[in-house]
Structure 1
């Protein structure tokens, strides 16, 4: 599609993750909003640790970070022959693959580079190294372009007025702009977004720490609310539409997103509020038939027992799923980089992929 704005017209933020020869550079999201700092990672182990500890987070950003982890290996591996290089490559691939189980972009990016390498095994070793680095950069660039298209498609689908979002699917969750973030930024630029309600998003507070920070940084008018205030705000008629991101969308339209999304979807249905998710095609997993098949990451209980490093509960057992699954019956539409998909999702998602072949 033809886009009206360039990325630099929509955000003042730099890319959340990038690669410079011999180092992966990323914004350390665990320090926000108190401190804005970029960190430099020089080993695959450091990149894997950054993904696990959520220094980088958000499905598209995780995918790009993993791709750059393989680029880092390709650039710095000391192997002199193809066999030694490939042994180290598969080891790096496995380390990065085993970081977080739910976000499908991670596996999509890693498998894309693995396929490229395996298709070029007869090429000189230096050529293979170059191809890995170029493909990682291409994955990151494509993410920014996809987000820009999502922003323009979404701006045409969402109602004018006040929107509500959950967690963070903005610039910090992608390479730049965001999925949800691109939609909000285009609507803000167009003057159709009046106010953004931001859920705090317990237990790690991605809404309060990250979304509120980055959207206010770009001048978007917002109000931060506790998660349990969302239903009351809807009941007061102060929400015209809801838009959230996705970590995995499956063939029937069910999708996994940050814990608390399902509750919002049920509330939106009760109040007659349009409910959208936004994600690139790389987040759609057509191999899984329903949301029941999506693996759900369970994170350490310490995230629930503490807040900002302070103990807020006694040492009791904790159940801390990082994501929940929203059934497709609650969805108004899926905003992708190839257009907006409406029900019936199973048929129309298949059609979307066929059209792209």
Structure 2
């Protein structure tokens, strides 16, 4: 697979999250599409709160933001000894780890930094601090590189024509380009993407607020639809492929993604439409055997009872799972930064990690 484009040739958007000494800078996604604003966070608690309140969202972006949170701890720590520093580091790690339960990249990124620190516990404190900051930056840079590879791998296997996507797995959900977003952007640049169908993605409308905004910003031809229109659009023969992101993929190929993904997978099977998920290796959790083991976050009922700050329902009981789990039998393939994984997924995912 040949890398034909650089990130700046595929998007005009800046990185969704980045680190500068003393601050983490991120796009506040809760304000889009009404306002594009970058916010500066100067404490670990502010980074944790931004993850919880979905100022930043998307599994890879959350992972990078959490790692930058640990880098920010280095800048703000007043510890005078290694013992004091490690006590504060552990507290920062735990606070960031407990922000959201489903996105495996969060734990992957935090554990990657923590494991590195533990490997260098005999080093001078200043060197340990430098390792934390540089590792967090590596995580972000590697995410962009991984997205670029996924974009090219995906563009090779998706058919030309009209593609439907759900939620936001674009540049805003990663450090830059996106997982799904990279594939769509490469296809757009190649001229193989004719039209992008964007599900609005209730209840938080990440498709309408974020995907439609960022793909329109980059000049991709799209049509926005409500979630309950997707089946009819497929029935009309207007969808040639479906591509979605993933917050966690497990050993047998089952995966968790934004609520509504499972419905699309079943409809795609009924209509004979290729259905792909795309995610980096850091999203694949080989410790879980099936999707039944994935913890599913439940969010506040206000997300369902309101829309855009307006009350749309009476005060009734609400069930608001943020994600659903799609069984692997509905998947055509899994696009990763190391190539495309085809069925049987349990065997071929193991092979993928053996190559590592």
Tell me the TM-score normalised to structure 2 length. 1.00
Q: Given that residues 246 and 256 in structure 1 are in contact (C-alpha distance below 8 angstroms), is that contact kept between their aligned partners in structure 2?
A: yes
Q: Given that residues 75 and 133 in structure 1 are in contact (C-alpha distance below 8 angstroms), is that contact kept between their aligned partners in structure 2?
A: no
Task: Determine if the alignment matches structure 1 residue 290 to structure 2 residue 296.
Answer: no
The equivalent residue for 1:262 is 262
User: What is the correspondence of 1:129-148 to structure 2 with a 5 Å cutoff?
Assistant: 129-148=129-148
The equivalent residue for 1:48 is 48
What CA distance in whole angstroms lies between the structure 2 residues aligned with 1:144 and 1:293?
Answer: 29
What CA distance in whole angstroms lies between the structure 2 residues aligned with 1:218 and 1:293?
Answer: 38
What CA distance in whole angstroms lies between the structure 2 residues aligned with 1:291 and 1:245?
Answer: 15
What CA distance in whole angstroms lies between the structure 1 residues aligned with 2:17 and 2:48?
Answer: 14
The equivalent residue for 1:21 is 21
What CA distance in whole angstroms lies between the structure 1 residues aligned with 2:170 and 2:282?
Answer: 16
What CA distance in whole angstroms lies between the structure 1 residues aligned with 2:195 and 2:170?
Answer: 16
What CA distance in whole angstroms lies between the structure 2 residues aligned with 1:250 and 1:118?
Answer: 27
Shift of 1:175: 0.1
Shift of 1:75: 1.9
Shift of 1:184: 0.1
User: What is the correspondence of 1:1-357 to structure 2 with a 5 Å cutoff?
Assistant: 1-356=1-356
Alpha-carbon displacement from aligned partner over 1:160-209 (angstroms, at most 9, x marks no partner): 00000000000000000000000000000000000000000000000000
What CA distance in whole angstroms lies between the structure 2 residues aligned with 1:40 and 1:128?
Answer: 25
Aligned length, in residue pairs: 356
Shift of 1:71: 0.3
What CA distance in whole angstroms lies between the structure 2 residues aligned with 1:128 and 1:39?
Answer: 28
| SS state at 1:243 partner | strand
| SS state at 1:63 partner | helix
What CA distance in whole angstroms lies between the structure 1 residues aligned with 2:83 and 2:315?
Answer: 50
Shift of 1:2: 3.2
Alpha-carbon displacement from aligned partner over 1:227-249 (angstroms, at most 9, x marks no partner): 00000000000000000000000
Shift of 1:31: 0.0
| SS state at 2:79 partner | coil
What CA distance in whole angstroms lies between the structure 2 residues aligned with 1:353 and 1:220?
Answer: 34
| SS state at 2:60 partner | helix
Shift of 1:76: 1.8
